[in-house]
Chain A
Amino acid sequence: MPAVRAGSSPFRADTTMIRFENVTKTYKAGTVALNDVSVDIDKGEFVFLVGPSGSGKTTFMRLLLREEAPDQGRIWVAGREIAHLSPWRIPYLRRNIGCVFQDFRLLPTRTVFENVAFALEVIGRPRHVIDGQVPQVLDLVGLANKRDNLPGELSGGEQQRVAVARAFVNRPLLLIADEPTGNLDPATSQGIMRLLDRINRTGTTVVIATHDAGIVDQMRRRVIELHRGELVRDQARGVYGYGT
């Protein structure tokens, strides 16, 4: 097993996308969800976050989005320290991060186009920008022909593509996905992963928390493994690994 990469290299804001420095997060109930985690993720990287259930993957994501603040340690995203971010700046942090979830989180009464447009509309983007960017990103995810359908009229894979489109439409620096294929069959999952890979190749940093061993083993990208809140493995071109 390769050596665990310690987050001790000099911090370079121009190439570092995410930096966790001795981050500890304890929930109110007393659960230590992350314990002294240090890790660097560079701009443009594609990273899998793996680990058994309850190991702290979702907590890692929630800290990035500043849905939670760490108890100890510091976190940088795109050169800005966010552990002590003042609340009014949090929305602006989130505009740089697209996110995708296992349950898609689409709005059932809005069409595909409106769901994607919503993400731009509510951050105050003008109509002409919306009308320009939404069709482009729907093209990218291959749903141009479903733009006027409601989410309920789409398959799970298609719904997740809409969610990816919504996460990417604002061209975020960072895209995070928490078990994006958790509800999808293997073939559909592969399609979603290929899409995320394509987005990564536009320069967007991608971090995916997943239990999908097949895909991790097949794609051979950097793998960060958490176990009971501790970082136990950080491997370039890694495999899913634990339990085998």
Chain B
Amino acid sequence: MAVSVEYVTRETATNLWRNRLMTVAAVLTVAVSLSLVGVSLLLRQGVAQATTQWQNGVNVLVFLDAQPAAPAAPTAQQLTIQQQLLQLPYVKSCIYRDQAYDLAEAKRLLDPSAASVLTAGTTPASWRCVLSQPSEAQAVAKQFNRFPGVAQVQYPQKQIRTMETVVHVLDAVFLVLAVILLLSAAVLILNTIRLAIFARRREVSVMKLVGATNWFIRIPFMFEGIVQGLAGALVAVLVTVLLHVVLDHFAGHNATSLLYRMRTPAGDVAVTAVLVGMIGVVIGAAGSAIGIRRFLDA
């Protein structure tokens, strides 16, 4: 089936212009809802970034004296330390992260100038322990801080835990709002498409009469919905990227600030942008497809 680009472009542009008010409403709704999606994705990435060390329920980090050879497996002394840790009743498990792993993680978490002096030979390996009672983390630290072969014991600051809960609540609220708004965006798009088809019902009936295929009739209208979804998504991508840039700016170079720890790599932001764009297209296509269905069934 030959659908010419010229035909689709002309029909889509005419429809969009005829329904411009509805179009603007639909585009704005998509923009607002997808901005929420974008910001919430950005938040998630930031939190994941700030809490990398504490993922999988890790409550205590026991950093071990760095070995110049950077072995991939624990030394005999380090295994003894693990046994001692596990003897404590509230320590459930401890997994080993070698020096190379910790170096990679530090490079992500630290200020580039601080990270640049690190090498695998000078970065400590670590035991990462999960406690059955997280409140005992301080006790572990006290007991093992001066243990032979232990460089330092760390446990998450209260700050991080609070941030996690706050962000998770925000995240949930944003997502619920975004879903509601996305649904209304789809309904608005559906409505503009119905109006567009209704305005052209004569054309559509003649098209059917002379043997245009359903896809041929459908494509300009679907395209219209997709253009609306995509336009809204573009605005949302702009908002998200702008927010990222502004936050990055405020994060400055203070490695202890929360914002700084939440810095998200540009690559992750790009993934978010692409995701937001795709959701826009899907919403537009779905809205218009439903809007058209009734007219073509007859």
Contact = CB atoms under 8 A, between A and B. Distances in A.
A105 B206 contact: yes
B210 A170 contact: yes
Could you tell me the dominant secondary structure of chain B's interface residues? helix
Interface string A86-114: 00100111110001000001011000000
Interface in B260-275: none
Contacts of A232: none
Given A122-B216, A124-B1, A95 B211 contact: yes
A69 interface: no
Contacts of A88: 213-214
B212 interface: yes
B202 A91 contact: no
A137 to B, nearest CB: 13
A118 interface: yes
Chain A contact patch, size range: 20 to 34
A123 B209 contact: no
Nearest to A122: B212
A123 B212 contact: yes
A93 B212 CA distance: 10
A150 B202 CA distance: 16
A30 to B, nearest CB: 21
Interface in B169-220: 202-203, 205-214, 216-217
A118 B1 contact: no
A139 interface: no
B7 interface: yes
B139 interface: no
B206 to A, nearest CB: 6
A85 B71 CA distance: 73
Nearest to B7: A121
A65 interface: yes
Contacts of A119: 206, 210
B3 interface: yes
Contact of A91 (B7, B206, B212): B212
Interface of B: 1-4, 7, 202-203, 205-214, 216-217
Interface of A: 65, 88, 91-95, 99, 105, 107-108, 118-119, 121-124, 126, 166, 170
Return the 9 tightest CB-CB contacts between A and B, nearest first. A94-B211, A124-B2, A95-B211, A122-B212, A119-B210, A91-B211, A91-B213, A122-B207, A123-B211
